[in-house]
Structure 1
Amino acid sequence: MEKSKVYFADMHVNGRENLQQKLGRLIKTAGIGQIDFDKKYAAIKIHFGEPGNLSYLRPNYAKTVADIVKELGGKPFLTDCNTLYVGGRKNALDHLDTAYLNGFSPFSTGCHVLIGDGLKGTDEALVPVEGGEYVTEAKIGQAIMDADIIISLTHFKGHELTGFGGALKNIGMGCGSRAGKMEMHSSGKPHVSEERCIGCAMCTKICAHSAITITEHKAFIDHVKCVGCGRCIGVCPRDAILPASDESNEILDKKIAEYSWAVLHGRPHFHISLVVDVSPFCDCHGENDVPIVPNVGMFASFDPVALDVACADAVNAQPVVRGSILEKSRHEHRDHFTDVHPTTDWEGTINHAVKLGLGRREYELLTI
């Protein structure tokens, strides 16, 4: 079977070419121009970083990608969906504030920012997942499904639940609406924190199954009637409705792959990952730790599976940064990610994505 092509560029530059120019040369060499962008909407899926975290990708990289899309005749926009947890990106207004705070404005990137699942995280498209083992109908941000082309621009780093956060994590979890994120993280149904609930009844108005009632100024969810759609989470003004967050890491990995399939199936897509500032935890944290390995470089491919495997292999070939969590882990597993997060298995998402036909593990690394 033919191997997927993954293109690589290190972080060395000279007086004739800076890093943005080198990234542009990488993705052009990788074949992004093979996609017909003419007058088509191109969603550039990126993580804008949580306030307080400084390891997210710099907006300069996003500008490079957006400029190339415009050069090819496309209409790019940067996008992400709202978070399930309470933080700086749980609704579109806070999310945009965070994006602008971290430098992702139309003036710095050359394109607009659209929050994929709308103001409260409830604007979603229901996408059937053919062959899904756990997900039959993925809940994807509507603006992302409205796009003609998907480009993932990923900060490759560690992750406490999935081992690492790569292209598939960026696409699958990142493109899920708030209810979609709940579905990936939970096998159960949401519940109400009585301490936070003020009895405003916003949740009762959006529930299509009459599963929520207000008793003594507090909401109550009847799990017999509740179907677990999660839309009540998005409308609650006090974050009083909480997901179960009880799914195993193994099943979470597979759900991420199935959500990735829902986003990518039937549309042109292209993927870029930067293995820099490889923090041990997700950029969703309001802080970041010492990188676990030195900066590696930039990767690009049409195959998100091969791209993730190539990035993982590259990280595992690196020496450990002194003073990092990886050095202090005292574990002796076969890779850096499992050493940092021993209960995770990053290959779970990879293997399930292969099964779904999203790509191949086998790759040919082409250095520019």
Structure 2
Amino acid sequence: MSKSKVYFTNFRTTLQENQLQKLARLVKAAGMLEHIQFKDRYAAIKIHFGEPGNMAFLRPNYSKVLVDLIREQGGRAFLTDCNTLYVGGRKNALDHLDAAYTNGYSPFSTGCHVIIADGLKGTDETLVPVENGEYVKEAKIGHAIMDADIIISLNHFKGHEATGFGGALKNIGMGCGSRAGKMEMHSAGKPFVDQALCVGCGFCQKNCAHGAITITSRKASIDHNKCVGCGRCIGACPMDAVSAPGDESNDILNRKMAEYSWAVLHGRPHFHVSLVVDVSPYCDCHAENDVPIVPDVGMFASFDPVALDMACADAVNAQTPLKGSVLDEVEHCHHDHFTDVHPTTNWKSCLEHAEKLGIGTTDYELITI
């Protein structure tokens, strides 16, 4: 496989060009408008809206640049994400929309609508066969994402406590999974009930299609011999008493994430933009964010999400740690900023598996504009 082209520009501006205009120029230079036919087609812009309380998420101004370019070409763009597996401010579509609007992602600020791809409770999914999948045979992807004609990912590149970093592949693979899909990536086992939180309301039992849930003495329990791991009970519980075990190894989590990325991207036009800005040590799913671990680097764009993630990782690792950050306080023994911050992670396992699946290549040519 030949080198993939990754386009880059820093955040420096002039009196004639601001950051948003520079982003538009980057996307055009990378060929998004030239190589993708947007006219009369639905374009899903996959983005993380930010957990309420977190301030490191991407500003909605960046997404409007992509929306405007797509609409100028006659395309129909929408911003999208799927509900979270964990308890928080984006666990159902109503709370998720509230979070998006609170963080500035409204039709008035971005020029397009927000659609939560896996529906009200995270159960609106499409089963997508994964050819040559070693860990996933059928990926569970948010239905609206699979309905789209084109996939555009707009990624906040930052650290992550389980995958090492979050970039294009995580935004696509983990982010496009329904609640059951996220559980499949995170877990080797099946959901369980926290008896202290359960009030025996029966909503989980009503939503179980396999008769796996019983209620005794006003407490629910799950028979794992009958449970198929669909995750519907997690979304149905009003007390957040049902949880996924979260017992999958980080390496297998990364490889499953790569297989989910394949399911989302295979057979459809796609393009990817990553902003290496406010590089927090943890995911934007946290309701808080720590100080950035390195200085802001710039904006990257490519048709190849594997090459894009590799280029962003190399760019971050070339930076000097910021004083007072978590990275500044840890021992630098791994020659890798992400592994220094999260020693139990191995971000390369995702890229290596994605390369094996044919999603892209880690061999890239960096073109600076």
Q: Number of residues paired by the alignment?
A: 368
CA shift for structure 1 position 198: 1.6
* Structure 2 CA distance for aligned equivalents of residues 302 and 286 of structure 1: 31
**Aligned residue for 2:4?**
4
* Structure 2 CA distance for aligned equivalents of residues 330 and 153 of structure 1: 32
* Structure 2 CA distance for aligned equivalents of residues 194 and 343 of structure 1: 30
**Aligned residue for 1:31?**
31
Paired amino acid for 1:236: C
**Aligned residue for 2:87?**
86
- Deviation track 1:47-91 (CA, whole Å, cap 9, x = no partner) reads 000111100000000000111111111100000000011111000
**Aligned residue for 1:341?**
342
- Deviation track 1:128-169 (CA, whole Å, cap 9, x = no partner) reads 111111110111100111101000000000000011001000
Gaps of 5+ in 2: none
**Aligned residue for 2:205?**
204
Gaps of 5+ in 1: none
**In terms of mean alpha carbon deviation, does 229-238 or 242-251 score higher?**
229-238
Paired amino acid for 2:79: L
- Deviation track 1:92-135 (CA, whole Å, cap 9, x = no partner) reads 01000000000000000000000010111110011111111111
- Deviation track 1:25-64 (CA, whole Å, cap 9, x = no partner) reads 0001101111011111100000000111100000000000
Alignment of 1:183-262 (within 5 A): 183-262=184-263
Paired amino acid for 1:300: A
* SS of equivalent residue, structure 2 residue 45: strand
**Aligned residue for 1:17?**
17
* Structure 2 CA distance for aligned equivalents of residues 230 and 85 of structure 1: 11
* Structure 2 CA distance for aligned equivalents of residues 348 and 24 of structure 1: 32
Paired amino acid for 2:38: F
- Deviation track 1:227-246 (CA, whole Å, cap 9, x = no partner) reads 11111111111111111110
**What value does the CA root-mean-square deviation take over the aligned residues?**
0.7
CA shift for structure 1 position 197: 1.3
* SS of equivalent residue, structure 1 residue 175: coil
**In terms of mean alpha carbon deviation, does 327-336 or 352-361 score higher?**
327-336
Q: Residue 182 in 1 paired to residue 189 in 2? A: no
CA shift for structure 1 position 319: 1.0
Alignment of 1:128-143 (within 5 A): 128-143=129-144
* Structure 2 CA distance for aligned equivalents of residues 319 and 241 of structure 1: 42
* SS of equivalent residue, structure 1 residue 151: strand
CA shift for structure 1 position 194: 1.2
Paired amino acid for 1:185: H
**Aligned residue for 1:271?**
272
**Aligned residue for 1:285?**
286
* SS of equivalent residue, structure 2 residue 174: helix
- Deviation track 1:163-204 (CA, whole Å, cap 9, x = no partner) reads 100100000000001111111000001011112112121112
Alignment of 1:275-354 (within 5 A): 275-354=276-355
Paired amino acid for 1:258: E
CA shift for structure 1 position 273: 0.1
**Aligned residue for 1:77?**
78
- Deviation track 1:252-276 (CA, whole Å, cap 9, x = no partner) reads 0100000001110111000000000
* Structure 2 CA distance for aligned equivalents of residues 256 and 131 of structure 1: 14
* Structure 2 CA distance for aligned equivalents of residues 197 and 77 of structure 1: 37
CA shift for structure 1 position 331: 3.1
Paired amino acid for 1:108: S
* Structure 2 CA distance for aligned equivalents of residues 201 and 262 of structure 1: 34
* Structure 1 CA distance for aligned equivalents of residues 63 and 50 of structure 2: 13
- Deviation track 1:298-356 (CA, whole Å, cap 9, x = no partner) reads 00000000000000000011111011100101131121111111111110100000000
* Structure 2 CA distance for aligned equivalents of residues 336 and 285 of structure 1: 20
* Structure 2 CA distance for aligned equivalents of residues 170 and 272 of structure 1: 11
* Structure 1 CA distance for aligned equivalents of residues 19 and 252 of structure 2: 38
**Aligned residue for 1:105?**
106
TM-score (norm 1): 0.99
Alignment of 1:145-164 (within 5 A): 145-164=146-165
* SS of equivalent residue, structure 2 residue 175: helix
CA shift for structure 1 position 218: 1.3
Paired amino acid for 2:72: E
**Aligned residue for 2:357?**
356
**Percent identical:** 73
